Amino acid sequence: MANLCKKVGEIGQDNLIAHPYPHALTTGVKIKSGEGVLPRGTILTTEDGTTYSALASGSEDKANCILCDEVDATDADVVAAAYITGNFNINAVAGKPAEEVDISFKVQDALRHYNIILSEVQE
């Protein structure tokens, strides 16, 4: 007989989503190989509309979605879910892990074009 009381997973609060409006909607994206491990909340950019990479210095005006879950794109392209709209905590989003990327007005403005709002959340 199967054990139906086995713990399968766990969900915790990470404060990524700041407010319920605009609604957080998702889509599938392909993360480019060589990006490494990207944490949940990574701001993504795209050059060609088909493959995505983490926000890096110099690509601030191309920011267009936010990664839903951690992915490992070290050795191969990875299909992942990304938020295409929503209201997110500016202190919980990130750029390329190897760089200290400033979430500047330029990034916020680029994301606003996609109905992605970055808000300050009081803890």
User: Domain segments of the chain: what residues?
Assistant: 17-119
Taking the C-alpha atoms of residue 103 and residue 59, their distance in angstroms, rounded to an integer, is 11
- Hey, which CATH number is domain 17-119, 2.60.40.1180, 2.40.300.10, 2.40.40.20, 3.40.50.150? 2.40.300.10
Cite the beta strand spans of the chain per DSSP E: 17-19, 25-31, 36-38, 43-46, 51-54, 63-67, 71-73, 78-89, 116-119
**Residue 28 structure tokens:** 């599938």
Predicted confidence (pLDDT) per residue in 79-102, tens digit: 999 999 999 999 899 888 777 778
* The overall pTM is greater than 0.85: yes
Predicted confidence (pLDDT) per residue in 35-94, tens digit: 999 999 999 999 898 999 999 988 889 999 999 999 999 999 999 999 999 999 998 998
